[in-house]
Structure formats: structure tokens, C-alpha cells
């Protein structure tokens, strides 16, 4: 109560100092203070005199200070808005705290004391969100906020755009707006609150300004419009409209939508205007009570005599330049510069100093008048186009095939290059904003290098213009991206402006849409955008627009000389993004709504041209397309994959180049192409293990040797017993004679013992001696290796990396190769039990080609066991039943082509190729490190170049070769010899 009494006195003294206009009291208006409210128009005089007497006694208490605070409260939709001034930031020219729920935003304005001797308004807006507002300490090294983030730059632009047109012409004093979020409950986005608070602060200050303004956010949920929606409500809204206006005109529009029709958007705008106007009256009341007198400023005047003199020199040449539609952007600028320099020379000869000072400004004004007059009176544009005509278009997709996606889009002289890069979910951008999602999986980065306008400049930090244009294009394309659950990749579009002559942000939308389709991203349809301009004729006495023309696809010059830059992007179904910037102090809403239909007509034309170039997303199955695989692991498998401090995962990423992300037990692997994906999956499979099935072949390493057999460690640390009876077709005397510790083997799972342990067999993977592949063709022969076929086109790798040893087999039969091919694929069923039993081999599921990660499967029914035994018996019978006569017939046909030169050489009439056999071989291929030799009978081997040996071979040349060894995959390795007989 004491504070309220003190405030009353302060208000009384202030009213004496203010002019009559700012001290009037509106009957029936509620006045608020920091201890309550009072209805001044209904307060009896006795109560006021009693309060004044109490103040006199309270103010005499030593050490007690009373802050003079003024408050206004009002409602917008279902939200209560509170404006408070006088409590904090009292030295600022104007300051106010706006509150909605538990979110508080402070806005302050200051003006420099200089005389403003310049020809532009140096207005800066700094918006900052510090982490203390949400009770968090920054995670940076210095534990404090650093350079402005993208969101802070965007919020600063949102404040700047509606307030800038309302500063009076000729006011060039430096003005700075600083906005700080004091507290945030995470429910309300502070950006709209900050813009309204800035309007109040300007009204309270002594800075000349033509406000106030009102700004409101509108959403649409289930077809119903919502004013000032919360962040949760926005997430389910198909419209995010930010609208700013004065009492009767529109100042700024910013829209992100999910293909909202022009009619629905027009309805939203007409509903938003009266709601935004509700912010205006409380600001006026607060300014009347606590505002300052607006200061006077000097406007530099140009004498009519100087204007007319310069006009006589330049008007006719300028009209000639703008009449000639053959001029390009730079040619037109050079012609205008020559006109200005010619007039300068004449004025210097006349020693007219006053005209020389104002020459550039007067020439610019005359140029503006000439262009606008031709558009209004004749409907003629600078480049000769009609008012609703779009510039010539050029579209190209797949410009650089090695990239995930790329495109070039040109409209007139404006050209952009857009590229798409697809990454892992972990590549998503982490956001530290007070509201909104913590990460962003779709990013569009827009760059405007100096060379695109033939200038010299530096590339430093984040640029407000680049961030704003990139975000606009990002909003436009976000509406057609597939849901995150269907497309888990992180996507980055990079837009490089190659040349600029107006609306490069809308060209980025078009180029980005084509690049997304070129990358194979399943976007629903194309998005295009263009900029609409306005040239109006205003009555100088009333300020009412008498006549106007709407321009489709404006040039950079038309943007500079016109009244509006209205960027509209969308699909054929509706609008996805809008950004409206204006130069005059407001444009009627009916003109804004008329522009929507004009923009749609031009947008459809651009979309048709883009669909001619690429109409649907490409396939992502080519070699350069990224790959993504997901798997769900139990805790034990996940620990093995990650390793201590994530060491195993980091090692896989370093060795393969793939990205591995883990979230809630789900592992996601993202690779640049299928080769990298296969390498990463193999390494993950080795660490984690996979499902063991009876009848399949797996690679393992001998971990220990016992008298009765050897233990083999399979992928993922699983072990099985290789009994001595399963080592080879001939029973060895000792286990150590057949295998050794550390040796890598390919073994088949043949079942389980009575204790549930895995039983392995080596001899089941070894063919009987004398079997030969009779199905190999002469043009593309494959050697059956461990778990699959080795094509001759990969022989170079085998020559480089072969581990030469004497195998116990020669060459496998066709039946065995078919069996091995069927056993190569993995089962896709995921299991989590580590000690479960082997699963019977299912030949149908093995052909599916899917990849899965898991553990053992113990669901082995008696019927499945019986079927597996019958299959294995059939394979053995088929393998042993190969006709020796057919084999001899094939061998005789081959040896008839290649006769031996020595009686000691093998002629392939034997049942096998043995070590030391000498043959005449034909050079089939010449590789980097050796030769692929064709021996005869469809058999091929390899020869590795010796250090100082011969290397001048030719394809088709016959050479003498000797079988010196076999690779670990059963491929014969030859050496050369000379026939000395």
C-alpha cells in the first residue's frame, strides 16, 4: 500500500511536466501499479487526498527507495499480456518488460547524441537469449554465451522489419534496440513478445517514430485458428503466421505452412489484423502516463532550384536507358554512372557547390521517379517484360553425379547452385534455444559471395541476410520432406548464389527442390517460389494510395525502387512459406491479398518447367547414394559394440568412414555408399555376432585345441566345438596335425550336443577330391571360395592379398558352389538371448537377401531337424554322384586346344590339378600386380609378378606355367618356367 501511495505522487508530478496530450485520462480505464490496481475515474477525491497525506509520511523513512512503476494489462485471445516500465533499466531512453504466462522479455532503446549527418538510418537490433532464462549453465568452455546464434539473428530481423519503415524520413540518428529474455517457461516463443515490447519502448522514448505497432502469431489446429499458440500447439499446427501492422495497414508477414491454400491464408490474415490491433491502445495509454516528449531533429532540405537544374541534365538520358530493354544489369548501371559523371563535369565547370553535394541523391530520386512513372502510366518494366511475366528459366539436375544431389536453377540473370548431402541421424544440428526442438535434421545454408554481384568483400561469420534468406528457403522445403520415422537421415542443402539480380532466396527454393529429388529423397512434390513487387502512387496530402501496379518476379532494381518485396513459395496445392518486407509505412491488407493470386500464377509456371527437368525422386540404389541400416541390440551386445568409452565404435568409424549412432538400444549405421556399408556391417557383425543357423557356414578362429577336438570362436565371441571326427574326410591322428591355434577356418554349424553347445564341422565344407566345377563358362569363370564365388574381375585383389598355403582341396564342384551360395546370406530375424541354441538352416529365408543381427535361436522343431538332415544327405549324394566320364570328356576337349610342349607337363586328363603340375596357360587378363591365366577346361589361376621378373605380357599369349601353390580360397597360383628339353 505504501508503494502505491508513493507512485500516486510520482504520477501527479509527472503529469504536470507532460504536455496536455500525454497527460489526459480516459474515463473508465484501469490503471495498474506494482501493488494492485485503482480505477482513477471512479476514485473519490477524499481517497486521493488521504493517499497523498500517507505518502508524505512514508517517503520520510530513511533508507527506503520507491520505484515508480507503470503497468498495463490486457488480453489477446486466451492469453493475458502485461506491460511494465519504470522498474528496471531506468537509464535507457525507453524500456519495458512484457510478460505472458511465466515468460518475461526486456526491450530497451537508445539513441546517439550525434547530429545524424548521414543519408541513412543506422538502426541495429540485438536480440539475445541467455541460458539463465531457463535455469541452465551454458556448456561452452567459458560457460558464457558467445556470438549470436542463428535463432537470435532471425528474431532480431523479425523485430527490425516492422519498425524500420515507421521512422520518419530524414531522421538519421543512430538507434539501437537491445532485447533480452529474462525468463522463459518454454511454452511461449519470445520473438513476438520481443517485437511488441520494442514498440512500447520506442513509444516511451523521445525518439521520433510513427508507431505503435501490434504483432501476433496465428496457428491453425484441426481447421480452427488459434491466437498466440504455445510451442506444443504449434507442433500440431499446419500454419505458423506472424503478422505485424499499424491500426489500418500491414507492415510485415512471416509464414511457415504445410501447403495452405491462398483462400485459407487470406482468411487468417483478415482474422490476425484486428487481434494485432489490440496491442496498440495499451501502448498509447502507457506512453501517455510514462512517455517522454519526442525530440526534434534536423532534416536536410534540397533546394528546388538545384533539383530542377539537375533534372534538366539527367531526366531525358535516364529515360533512354530505361527504355532500352537490351541493357543487362551491369550495362544499365554503367550507363547510369556515365550520365552522372557527365553531369558532374558540367556542374564543376559552373562551380555550383550546392548541386555537387546533392547530385548522387537527386539522380537516384529522379531515376526512381522515371521507373515508377513508366510502370504506373504505361505498364512497362525495365527489362521490357509484362507486369505478370516471369523471366526465362533454366533448370538442370544431377550437375555433379558424385554428389548425393545437385542442381542449377536460373531465372533471368539470377542463378544458384544447390547441393544435397545426406548424413546420419547423429549429424543433426544441436540447438541451444530456449524453446523448440533440441535438434534439427534438415538444414539449408545459403551463401551470397561477393563475386555474384561483381564486388570485392570478405567472408566473415554469420550474416543476417544469409541466415534470413536460408531460413526462408528452409521453411518452404520443410513442408514436403518425408516424416522423420520414414526417413531417418539428416539432410543438408547448400545454396551457392552464382549471380544475383533479384530474389535469390526464391531461386534457392527451386534449386533446392530439384536437388532433393536428384538425391533420391522421397519429397511429395516440387516447391517453387518467386517475389512479387509493388509500385504505388500516393496522394501527398492524405497518404492514401491512388493507383498501384503489382509486378511478378521482380528484378533487383525493381526491388530497390519499388515499395514491396513479397516472397511467396509453395507447391501446386498451396503455400509453404512467405516473407513480406515493405518500404512505406504500411500497405493496405487488400493489396496484400491480391498479390497471393498473382504469385500463384507465376509459381505454377515455374513448377511446370521444373517438372520437365525432374518430376520424381531418383532411386537411392546407385553407387554414390548413401546407405542406412538399423538394428536393435540388447544391453550386452550394445556394450560389446561400443567398447570402453566408445572405443570400438570410434574404431569402426575411423576404419570404414561410416557413422554409427546409438539411441534407446537402436543402432543406426549410415555409410556414404554400399561398399562402406558392407565393411561397417562386417565389423559390427564381428563384434556383436549374428544368428547361428544349422547348415550355414561361418568364419571362426581356433581358440584352443583339446585331444577330442578344437574350440572355434565365431563372431561376437560365440564358441563351438569342432570334433576331431569333423576335421576332414580322413580322420587325423591328432587334432594339432589338422589345425592350429589362431588359424581362421570356415566351418558349418551341424547342430548341438546334449549340453546345448554348438557343433561345428570342417569336413562338411570340404569337397571330395576330384570334384570339379563343370558349369564355369569361358567368358566369366568364378572360383567357389569360402562362403561364395570369386569373380575373375576381382583377381587383382587376390593377387595382392592372397595368403599362399597348400590346401587340402583342389577346386569345388558346381553343386558345392550352389550350396555355398545359398549358405552365404544371413537371416534377418533379431534375437537377444546369448546362450540360445542354433537355428535349423532355412533355405527359403536365406535367399531373401536381408541382413539381421542377433544371437542364437533355439526354436528347433523335430520336423525342422529331420528336414535339415534330409537336405544335408541330398547335398552329399549330389556331390558324390558327379560323373567321372563327363569330367574326362570335358578335360579331353580342353587339352586338345592346348597341347603340352614337354612330356613331363600335365595335360589335364587327370582328376585333379596338383602341386608341381606343368601346363601351357593362356593369358586371359593383365592386372596391376599379376596375370589371370586360363589353364583349360574352364579353369583359371593367377600369377603374381616377381620383383625383377618379366612384365611385358600380352593378352592371348601362351606361356609355360607350373602350379606352385593354392590360395586360401582354393585358387591355383602359378609360377613361370622354361622348357629346357
Mean pLDDT over each residue of the chain, to the nearest integer:
79
Would you say residue 774 has pLDDT above 90? no
CB atoms under 10 Å from CB of 134, counted, come to 16
Confidence bin at 21 (pLDDT 50/70/90)? very low
Are residues 457 and 350 both part of a single domain? no
pLDDT, tens only, 184-206: 998 989 999 999 999 999 999 99
| Residue given cell 571362426 in the structure block | 700
Residue 714 near residue 720 (C-beta atoms within 8 A): yes
Tell me what pLDDT residue 980 has: 61
Q: pLDDT tens digits, residue range 293-311?
A: 998 887 777 778 888 888 8
Range from 78-82, 599-603, 820-824 carrying the lowest mean pLDDT? 820-824
DSSP states of 725-767 as a string?
Answer: GGS-SS--SSGGGT--TT-EEEEEEEEE-TTS-EEEESGGGSP
With pLDDT > 70 as the criterion, what percentage of the chain qualifies?
Answer: 77
Q: Is residue 228 domain-resident?
A: no
Is residue 775 assigned to a domain? no
Find the range with the poorest average confidence among 35-44, 262-271, 373-382, 836-845.
35-44
CATH of the domain at 647: 3.30.1370.10
Q: How many CA atoms lie within 13 A of 197 on its CB side?
A: 34
869 Cβ contact list (under 8 Å, min separation 6): none
Of 666, 688, 710, at which residue does a domain stop?
Answer: 688
> Cell numbers of 136, please?
541452465
**Statement: residue 835 has pLDDT above 70:** no
From residue 952, how far is each of 208, 928, 948, 958 by CA, in Å?
Answer: 90, 12, 12, 13
Range of the domain at 640: 627-688
Average of per-residue pLDDT across 492-507: 95
- CA–chain centroid gap for 420, Å, is 8
Last-in-domain residue among 348, 376, 404? 376
Higher pLDDT, 945 or 213: 213
3-state SS of 716-730 is HHCEEEEEHHHCCCC
Cell of 464: 543476417
> Same domain for 270 and 311?
no
441: left (phi over 0), alpha (psi -120 to 50) or beta: alpha
Residues 102 and 125 in one domain: yes
For residues 527 and 473, state if they share a domain. yes
- Give the whole-angstrom CA distance, residue 436 versus residue 232: 9
Check whether 589 has a pLDDT greater than 90.
Answer: yes
* Spatial distance between the Cα atoms of 971 and 403, rounded to a whole number of angstroms: 38
User: Are 108 and 179 found together in one domain?
Assistant: yes
Alpha-carbon gap, residue 195 to 202, rounded angstroms: 11
Sorted by sequence, the CB contacts under 8 Å of residue 734 that are 6+ apart come out as none
Report the alpha-carbon distance of residue 767 to residue 75 in Å, rounded: 87
Query: Which run of H or E residues covers position 407?
Result: strand 405-411
Q: Which pLDDT does position 66 carry in this prediction?
A: 79
Going by their DSSP bridges, the two strands 442-447 and 439-440 should be labelled as unpaired
* Helices H / strands E in the chain, number of each: 23, 40
The mean pLDDT value for 129-138 works out to: 92
Phi-psi region of 463 (alpha: psi -120 to 50; beta: other; left: phi over 0): beta
The reported pLDDT for the residue numbered 140 is 83
For residue 289, give the C-alpha cell.
502516463
In a domain, 56, yes or no: no
pLDDT of residue 843: 41
Angle CA 973–977–981, to nearest 5 = 140
CA distance 219 to 239: 5
Co-location of 592 and 657 in the same domain: no
Section 361-376 average pLDDT: 91
Do the strands 564-570 and 575-582 form a parallel or antiparallel pair, or are they unpaired?
Answer: antiparallel
- Strand order of the β-sheet with 666-671 is 627-632, 666-671, 659-663
Q: What is the per-residue pLDDT across 742-751, written as a single tens digit (0 to 9) for each? A: 888 888 888 8
Residues 353 and 501 in one domain: no
pLDDT at 690: 64
Give the DSSP per-residue string, 504-548. Answer: HHHHHHHHHHHHHHHTT---SS--EEEEEEEEEEE-TTT--EEEE
Provide the CATH number for the domain around residue 480.
Answer: 3.30.230.70
Scanning the structure block, which residue is given the C-alpha cell 571360395?
Answer: 785
- Structure letter (DSSP) for residue 223: T
Burial 176-209 (b: 16+ CB within 10 A, else e): bbbbbbbebbbebbbbbbbbbbbbbbbbbbbbbb
The mean pLDDT value for 258-271 works out to 96
> Count of CB atoms within 10 A of residue 942's CB?
24
Residue 734 has what pLDDT?
87
H/E/C letters for each residue in 80-106?
A: EEEEEECCCCCCCCEEEEEEECCEEEE
Cell of 727: 576335421
What is the per-residue pLDDT for 296? 87
In the chain, the number of structural domains is: 6
Residue 421 shares a structural domain with residue 499: yes
Quick one: cell of 7?
Answer: 507512485
In 3D space, the residue among 683, 537, 592 whose CA is nearest the CA of residue 244 turns out to be 592
Q: Which residue has the higher pLDDT, 650 or 980?
A: 650
Q: Do 604 and 717 belong together in one domain?
A: no
Over residues 355-367, mean pLDDT = 88
In whole angstroms, what is the distance from residue 698 CA to residue 10 CA?
A: 90
Alpha-carbon span 109 to 495, nearest angstrom: 36
Q: Which residues pair with 394 in a beta bridge?
A: 410
pLDDT band per the 50, 70, 90 thresholds, residue 880: very low
Please state, as a whole number, how many other Cβ atoms lie within 10 Å of the Cβ of residue 885.
Answer: 7
Stated as kind and residue range, the H or E segment containing 227 is strand 224-227
Quickly state the pLDDT bin for 131 (edges 50, 70, 90). very high
- Report yes or no on 711 lying in a domain: yes
Residue positions counted in the chain: 981
The answer to whether position 824 is within a domain reads no
Between these two residues, 741 and 115, which has the higher pLDDT value? Answer: 741
| pLDDT-derived band at 114, boundaries 50, 70, 90 | confident
Instruction: Report whether pLDDT(3) > 60.
Output: no
Closest listed residue to residue 193, CA positions, set 212, 218, 220, 214: 214
Give the other-Cβ count within 10 Å of 101's Cβ: 14
Q: What is the DSSP string of 902-936?
A: STTS--S-SSS--TT-EEEEEEEEE-SSEEEEEEE
Quote the pLDDT of residue 78.
Answer: 82
The reported pLDDT for the residue numbered 738 is: 87
CATH number at residue 955: 2.40.50.140
Output 596 or 870, whichever has higher pLDDT.
Answer: 596
Phi, psi (rounded to 5 degrees) for 325: -80, -5
Contact 763, 728 (CB under 8 A): yes
Min mean pLDDT across 170-184, 319-333, 466-480, 931-945 is at: 931-945
The whole-angstrom separation of Cα 612 and Cα 619 is 18
224-227 β-sheet, strand order: 224-227, 214-221, 239-245, 250-260, 575-582, 564-570, 528-538, 545-552
Cα-based distances in Å from 572 to 145, 359, 602: 43, 48, 11
- Does 786 score more than 50 pLDDT? no
The answer, yes or no, to whether residue 157 has pLDDT greater than 70, is yes
587, 477: one domain: yes
Burial pattern 672-692, b for ≥16 Cβ within 10 A else e, equals beeebbebbbebbbbbbbbbb
CB 465 within 8 A of CB 433: no
Closest CA to 774 of 812, 810, 824, 821: 812
Per-residue pLDDT, 841:
45
Where does a domain end: 672, 688, 704?
688
CB 948 within 8 A of CB 911: no
**Cα dihedral: 141, 142, 144, 147 (round 10):** -80
Quick one: 193 and 81 in the same domain? yes
Pairing state of beta strands 123-128 and 175-183? parallel
CATH number at residue 359: 1.10.10
Q: Is residue 721 part of a domain?
A: yes
Share of the chain above pLDDT 90, in %: 39
Range with the lowest mean pLDDT among 507-511, 661-665, 921-925?
Answer: 661-665
Other Cβ atoms within 10 Å of 728 Cβ, number: 16
- Res. 768: pLDDT tops 70: no
Instruction: Confirm whether 158 is domain-assigned.
Output: yes
**Residue 817 covered by a domain:** no
Cα gap 650→660, rounded to integer Å: 9
Higher per-residue pLDDT: 914 or 75: 75
Residue 211's pLDDT is what?
A: 85
Confidence bin at 36 (pLDDT 50/70/90): very low
Pairing of strands 758-761, 719-723: parallel
Q: What is the pLDDT of residue 643?
A: 86
How far, in Å, CA of 830 to CA of 842, rounded? 15
**Pairing label, strands 214-221, 239-245:** antiparallel
What mean pLDDT comes out for the span 245-272? Answer: 96
Statement to judge: residues 417 and 284 lie in one domain: no
User: The dihedral of CA 383, 388, 393, 397: what is its sign?
Assistant: positive
Amino acid at each position: 500500500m505504501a508503494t502505491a501511495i508513493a507512485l500516486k505522487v510520482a504520477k501527479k508530478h509527472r503529469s504536470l511536466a507532460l504536455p496536455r496530450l500525454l497527460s489526459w485520462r480516459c474515463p473508465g480505464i484501469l490503471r495498474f501499479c506494482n501493488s494492485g490496481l485503482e480505477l482513477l475515474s471512479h476514485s473519490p477525491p477524499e481517497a486521493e487526498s488521504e493517499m497523498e497525506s500517507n505518502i508524505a509520511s512514508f517517503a520520510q523513512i530513511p533508507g527506503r527507495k520507491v520505484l515508480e512503476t507503470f503497468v498495463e494489462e490486457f488480453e489477446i485471445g486466451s492469453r493475458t499480456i502485461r506491460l511494465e516500465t519504470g522498474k528496471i533499466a531506468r537509464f535507457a531512453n525507453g524500456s519495458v518488460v512484457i510478460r505472458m504466462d511465466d515468460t518475461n522479455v526486456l526491450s530497451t532503446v537508445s539513441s546517439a547524441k550525434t547530429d545524424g549527418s548521414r543519408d541513412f538510418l543506422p538502426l541495429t537490433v540485438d536480440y539475445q537469449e541467455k541460458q539463465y532464462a531457463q535455469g541452465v549453465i551454458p556448456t561452452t568452455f567459458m560457460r558464457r554465451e558467445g556470438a549470436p546464434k542463428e535463432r537470435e539473428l532471425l528474431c532480431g530481423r523479425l523485430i527490425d522489419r516492422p519498425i524500420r519503415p515507421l521512422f520518419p524520413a530524414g531522421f538519421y540518428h543512430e538507434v539501437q534496440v537491445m532485447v533480452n529474455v529474462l525468463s522463459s517457461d518454454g511454452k511461449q516463443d519470445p520473438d513476438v513478445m520481443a517485437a511488441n515490447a520494442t514498440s512500447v519502448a520506442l513509444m516511451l522514448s523521445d525518439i521520433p517514430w510513427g508507431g505503435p505497432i501490434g504483432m501476433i502469431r496465428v496457428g491453425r489446429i484441426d481447421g480452427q485458428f488459434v491466437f498466440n499458440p504455445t510451442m506444443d500447439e504449434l507442433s500440431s499446427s499446419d500454419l505458423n503466421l506472424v503478422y505485424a501492422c499499424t491500426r489500418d495497414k500491414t507492415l510485415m508477414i512471416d509464414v511457415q505452412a504445410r501447403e495452405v491454400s491462398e483462400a485459407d491464408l487470406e482468411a487468417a490474415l483478415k482474422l490476425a489484423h484486428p487481434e494485432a490491433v489490440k496491442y496498440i491502445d495499451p501502448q498509447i495509454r502507457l506512453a501517455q502516463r510514462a512517455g517522454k516528449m519526442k525530440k526534434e531533429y534536423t532534416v536536410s532540405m534540397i533546394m528546388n532550384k538545384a533539383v530542377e537544374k539537375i533534372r534538366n541534365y539527367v531526366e531525358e538520358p535516364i529515360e533512354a536507358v530505361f527504355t532500352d530493354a537490351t541493357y543487362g544489369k551491369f550495362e544499365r548501371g554503367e550507363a547510369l554512372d556515365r550520365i552522372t559523371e557527365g553531369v558532374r563535369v558540367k556542374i564543376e565547370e559552373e562551380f555550383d557547390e550546392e548541386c555537387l553535394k546533392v547530385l548522387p541523391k537527386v539522380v537516384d530520386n529522379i531515376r526512381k521517379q522515371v521507373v515508377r512513372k513508366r510502370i504506373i502510366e504505361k505498364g512497362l518494366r525495365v527489362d521490357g517484360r509484362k507486369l505478370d511475366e516471369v523471366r526465362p528459366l533454366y533448370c538442370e539436375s544431377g550437375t555433379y553425379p558424385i554428389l548425393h544431389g545437385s542442381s542449377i536453377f536460373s531465372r533471368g540473370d539470377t542463378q544458384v547452385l544447390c547441393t544435397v548431402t545426406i548424413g546420419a541421424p547423429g549429424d543433426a544440428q544441436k540447438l541451444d534455444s530456449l524453446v523448440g526442438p533440441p535438434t534439427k535434421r534438415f538444414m539449408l545454408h545459403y551463401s551470397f559471395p561477393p563475386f555474384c554481384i561483381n564486388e570485392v568483400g570478405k567472408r566473415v561469420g554469420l550474416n543476417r541476410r544469409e541466415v534470413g534468406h536460408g531460413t526462408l528457403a528452409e521453411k518452404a522445403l520443410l513442408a514436403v520432406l518425408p516424416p522423420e520415422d520414414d526417413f531417418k537421415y539428416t539432410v543438408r542443402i547448400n545454396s551457392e548464389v552464382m549471380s544475383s539480380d533479384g530474389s535469390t532466396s526464391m531461386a534457392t527454393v527451386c534449386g533446392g527442390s530439384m536437388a532433393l529429388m536428384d538425391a533420391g529423397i522421397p519429397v511429395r512434390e516440387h516447391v517453387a517460389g518467386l517475389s512479387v513487387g509493388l509500385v504505388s502512387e500516393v496522394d501527398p496530402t492524405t497518404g492514401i494510395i491512388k493507383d498501384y501496379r503489382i509486378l511478378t518476379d521482380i528484378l533487383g532494381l525493381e526491388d530497390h525502387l519499388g515499395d514491396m518485396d513479397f516472397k511467396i513459395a509453395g507447391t501446386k496445392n498451396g503455400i509453404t512459406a512467405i516473407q513480406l518486407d515493405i518500404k512505406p509505412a504500411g500497405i493496405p491488407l487488400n493489396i496484400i491479398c491480391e498479390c497471393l493470386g498473382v504469385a500463384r500464377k507465376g509459381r505454377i509456371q515455374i513448377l511446370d518447367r521444373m517438372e520437365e527437368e525432374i518430376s520424381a525422386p531418383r532411386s537411392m540404389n546407385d553407387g554414390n547414394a548413401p546407405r542406412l541400416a538399423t538394428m536393435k541390440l540388447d544391453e550386452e551386445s550394445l556394450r560389446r559394440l561400443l567398447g570402453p568409452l566408445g572405443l570400438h565404435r570410434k574404431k569402426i568409424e575411423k576404419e570404414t568412414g561410416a557413422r554409427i549412432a546409438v539411441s534407446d538400444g537402436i543402432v543406426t549405421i549410415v555409410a556414404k555408399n554400399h561398399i562402406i556399408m558392407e565393411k561397417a556391417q562386417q565389423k559390427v557383425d564381428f563384434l556383436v555376432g549374428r544368428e547361428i543357423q544349422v547348415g550355414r557356414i561361418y568364419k571362426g578362429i581356433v581358440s584352443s585345441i583339446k585331444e577330442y577336438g578344437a574350440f572355434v570362436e565365431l563372431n561376437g565371441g560365440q564358441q563351438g566345438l569342432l570334433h576331431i571326427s569333423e576335421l576332414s574326410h580322413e580322420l587325423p591322428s591328432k587334432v594339432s596335425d589338422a589345425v592350429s591355434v589362431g588359424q581362421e577356418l570356415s566351418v558349418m554349424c551341424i547342430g548341438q550336443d546334449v549340453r546345448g553347445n554348438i557343433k561345428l564341422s570342417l569336413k562338411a565344407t570340404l569337397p571330395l577330391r576330384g570334384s570339379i566345377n563343370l558349369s564355369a563358362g569361358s567368358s566369366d569363370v568364378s572360383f567357389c571360395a569360402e562362403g561364395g564365388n570369386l569373380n575373375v574381375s576381382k583377381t587383382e585383389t587376390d593377387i595382392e592379398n592372397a595368403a599362399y598355403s597348400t590346401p587340402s582341396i583342389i577346386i569345388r564342384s558346381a553343386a558345392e558352389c550352389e550350396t555355398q551360395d545359398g549358405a552365404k546370406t544371413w537371416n534377418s530375424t533379431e534375437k537377444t538371448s546369448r546362450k540360445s541354441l542354433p537355428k535349423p538352416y532355412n533355405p527359403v529365408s536365406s535367399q531373401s537377401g536381408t541382413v539381421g543381427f542377433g544371437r542364437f535361436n533355439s526354436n528347433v522343431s523335430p520336423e525342422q531337424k529331420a528336414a535339415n538332415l534330409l537336405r544335408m544327405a541330398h547335398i552329399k549324394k549330389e556331390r558324390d554322384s558327379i560323373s567321372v566320364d563327363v569330367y574326362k570328356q570335358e578335360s579331353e576337349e580342353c587339352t586338345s586346344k592346348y597341347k603340352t610342349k614337354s612330356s613331363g607337363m600335365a595335360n589335364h586328363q587327370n582328376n585333379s590339378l596338383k602341386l608341381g603340375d606343368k601346363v601351357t596357360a593362356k593369358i586371359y587378363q593383365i592386372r596391376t600386380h599379376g596375370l589371370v591365366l586360363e589353364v583349360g577346361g574352364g579353369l583359371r589361376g593367377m600369377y603374381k609378378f616377381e620383383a625383377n621378373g618379366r612384365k611385358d605380357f600380352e593378352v592371348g599369349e601362351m606361356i609355360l606355367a607350373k602350379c606352385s601353390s593354392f590360395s586360401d580360397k582354393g585358387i591355383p597360383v602359378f609360377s613361370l618356367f622354361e622348357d629346357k628339353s
